[in-house]
Structure 1
Amino acid sequence: MATYRNFILAALILAFGVVNLGAYVRLSDAGLGCPDWPGCYGKLTPHHAVDAINAELAVRPDGPVSHAKAWKEMAHRYFAGTLGLLVLAIAVLAWRGRRETNGGPALPAALLALIVFQALLGMWTVTLLLKPLIVSAHLLGGMATLSLLVWLWLRERGRFSHAYFARVDHLRRSAAFGLALVVMQIALGGWVSTNYAALACTDYPLCQGMWMPPMDFEHAFTLHRELGETASGELLPLTALTAIHWTHRTMALIVVAYLGWLVLRLLRTPGYAGMGVAVAGLLALQVALGIANVLLGLPLAIAVSHNAGAALLLASLVALNYRVRRR
């Protein structure tokens, strides 16, 4: 099953790239670079849709469509489509070699179903004009795809000698709760990004010069609404954007405190010090990138790196949970 494992590794690497390419598309305001799906103005590439793009630019030169944005959007679709084909191949190979895999075809089948749902979310992201709930769900779907591929790769790799690890039953709940906290923080980060609330607070550690600025939590966390609007169609107020940003920032403190405690436990557990150091390093990097985003005005490179750091931190927690449960 060497081909099977190679496909999983290739899909894992590609999934990490697709997650971050999606962040780049979103953060560079290219999500509507091609306002239809799956093509670009019904064409295979922006090159073939050049007349339609030029016509749109003539009407709205400052609108969401441009040649550069169209290529960014379509590049994301091309890579995501390639990932989908890889996952399909993995599911087929897992079924054909179900007696040779380490866990059977159930997980690859679930992964394939997730990819299909991701494709639907990608379509709705465009057709529903970047509705925050859909875009956030698309981000979480990408992170879930990455997580399942990490788990599948570790399972099929099959080269971890359990003798190197101490009994860690006491770490199972702690690791699972840490993973849940990171998922919640990623969801909040996605909500910040999809609502363009990253610069609602431009100072740190204060927010608008206060520890508790005026905030509107009701409108901030109303899920079913259009981009930049309340559920009633009014302009989303700054106080709502502030509430979104402040909640993400506050949750970050909880995640740092809990994962810091978890890292200390890992450092004291034989065989897990390396994982503890990895989690600590990725956590410190995420905090630094988050603060830099605020103080430097959300530079594109740092914002995308913050998304990549979240994906790596999530992957490290998935790997930790795999190890403590497989022991």
Structure 2
Amino acid sequence: MTKNYKFLVLTTALLAVLVVGLGAYTRLSDAGLGCPDWPGCYGFLTVPDKAHEIAAVEENFPGMELDQGKALKEMVHRYFAGTLGLLILAIALYAWRYGKHVRMPVRLPTVLLLLVIFQAMLGMWTVTMNLQPLVVMGHLLGGFSIASLLWLLYLRNHSRPVPGGDPGARALQGWSMAALCMVVVQIALGGWLAANYAAAHCVGFPLCEGSEAFSLAEVFHLPMEHANYEYGVLSYESRMSIHLLHRFGALITLLIVGAAMWRVFKGAYSRTIKNAALAVGAALATQLTLGIALIYMQIPLLMALAHNLMALLLLLTLVRLCYLQKRKC
């Protein structure tokens, strides 16, 4: 396997993390509809700023107000996401071309290419369906999935087995997989919370004021047939229930992931896997700290962005641990 291919995979994985961050920043700063069309912006390849371009916007998009700041955030995210798609295409082409002659994964790059195509469609639907929450959550999960699979591809290209294996870690693979599944569920709940603009609809800690009105049925209520979903369309009680369920999920995640990492750390023999379990624990503790701080500090933008990125880091550390347990045992 060539050094150029390894460098390409690493660069693409790092870009995927950046794209997830840009997407979160765009969403958190309410710039998801900064450009009401796709893939351009008010019919242009860049944000319209000249007099004749603004005149064309007023003619072709009557009743819409051009916010150049929001439009710029949206277009920066789109261009970085487009670059990510091209790099994933390059990885897939390289794997198809040389996969039979050089020992490298072929199916994983193919899955990544299909996923990034679907992710582009979700990006289009996010705009054309005016931030429909189910589409927005799917788009968020798609970004996390692409970053995770690129990280897995990088690990497959660079990891080396531990001599002699680690039967202690092998016996605990189920614990790590359970922790990974729980984190994915919690990320999905966080995406549903963000898609419905429910972050600010839960005052108090650890429970919300008025938490007696919590309804599980309201959490999974799908808002449909609205002209625009920007800033949310659900009732206060529904959004409070969504937020409170996310907090319950955080507690369950703490218990499951914490117990799993303790078991893996105590049961594994190799220092590599012990350190991987410690990395998951550190990411989990940091994420919970950020979540609590967000509540007390009333959701500052940069801290909310850090909370999103730390969720991705927690996911990536778990992907690495699960891979090492399978690969090195």
Q: C-alpha offsets along residues 279-322 of structure 1, whole Å, 9 cap, x if unaligned?
A: 11100110011111111111100001000000000001111111
CA 1:100–1:298: 2 relative to 1, 3 Å: farther
Which residue pairs with 2:323 in the alignment? 322
Contact kept? 2:223, 2:233, Cα under 8 Å: no
Tell me how far apart the structure 2 counterparts of residues 285 and 252 of structure 1 sit (CA, whole Å): 12
Deviates more, 1:38-47 or 1:267-276: 267-276
Task: Give yes or no for the alignment of 1:81 onto 2:79.
Answer: no
**1:143 shift after superposition:** 0.5
Q: C-alpha offsets along residues 207-233 of structure 1, whole Å, 9 cap, x if unaligned?
A: 11x6x4312332331235267999xxx
Tell me how far apart the structure 1 counterparts of residues 110 and 157 of structure 2 sit (CA, whole Å): 15
**1:236 shift after superposition:** 2.0
Which residue pairs with 1:162 in the alignment? 162
**1:205 shift after superposition:** 1.2
Contact kept? 2:131, 2:228, Cα under 8 Å: no
SS in 1 for 2:212: coil
Q: C-alpha offsets along residues 214-259 of structure 1, whole Å, 9 cap, x if unaligned?
A: 12332331235267999xxx95211111110011100110110111
Which residue pairs with 2:242 in the alignment? 244
SS in 2 for 1:280: helix
Matched letter for residue 29 of structure 2? S
Q: C-alpha offsets along residues 83-116 of structure 1, whole Å, 9 cap, x if unaligned?
A: 0000000000001110344443111011000000
Query: When the two structures are superposed, what TM-score results if normalisation uses the length of structure 1?
Result: 0.91
**1:199 shift after superposition:** 1.3
Contact kept? 1:132, 1:226, Cα under 8 Å: no
Tell me how far apart the structure 2 counterparts of residues 105 and 48 of structure 1 sit (CA, whole Å): 44
RMSD over aligned Cα atoms: 2.4
Tell me the number of residue pairs that the alignment of Structure 1 and Structure 2 aligns: 318
**1:176 shift after superposition:** 1.0
CA 1:43–1:164: 2 relative to 1, 3 Å: farther
Which residue pairs with 2:191 in the alignment? 190
Contact kept? 2:16, 2:143, Cα under 8 Å: yes
Segments of 4+ moved more than 6 angstroms? 58-61, 227-230
Q: C-alpha offsets along residues 149-186 of structure 1, whole Å, 9 cap, x if unaligned?
A: 0110000124x232275222211111111111000000
Deviates more, 1:180-189 or 1:291-300: 291-300
Tell me how far apart the structure 2 counterparts of residues 227 and 250 of structure 1 sit (CA, whole Å): 29
Which residue pairs with 1:151 in the alignment? 152
Contact kept? 1:133, 1:223, Cα under 8 Å: yes
Task: Give yes or no for the alignment of 1:266 onto 2:264.
Answer: yes
SS in 1 for 2:213: coil
Tell me how far apart the structure 2 counterparts of residues 287 and 104 of structure 1 sit (CA, whole Å): 35
Contact kept? 2:196, 2:233, Cα under 8 Å: no
Which residue pairs with 2:54 in the alignment? 51
SS in 1 for 2:190: helix
Q: C-alpha offsets along residues 67-94 of structure 1, whole Å, 9 cap, x if unaligned?
A: 0000000000000000000000000000
SS in 2 for 1:240: helix
SS in 1 for 2:69: helix
Matched letter for residue 259 of structure 1? V
Matched letter for residue 236 of structure 2? L
SS in 1 for 2:163: helix
Tell me how far apart the structure 1 counterparts of residues 32 and 89 of structure 2 sit (CA, whole Å): 26
Tell me how far apart the structure 1 counterparts of residues 56 and 294 of structure 2 sit (CA, whole Å): 32
SS in 2 for 1:206: coil
Tell me how far apart the structure 2 counterparts of residues 72 and 235 of structure 1 sit (CA, whole Å): 24
Tell me how far apart the structure 2 counterparts of residues 172 and 134 of structure 1 sit (CA, whole Å): 33
Query: When the two structures are superposed, what TM-score results if normalisation uses the length of structure 2?
Result: 0.90
Contact kept? 2:137, 2:192, Cα under 8 Å: yes
Where in structure 1 are there 5+ consecutive unaligned residues?
none
Contact kept? 2:19, 2:81, Cα under 8 Å: yes
**1:277 shift after superposition:** 1.5
Deviates more, 1:140-149 or 1:262-271: 262-271
Which residue pairs with 1:68 in the alignment? 69
Give percent identity, aligned residues only.
44
Aligned counterparts, 1:290-305, within 5 A: 290-305=291-306
Where in structure 2 are there 5+ consecutive unaligned residues?
none
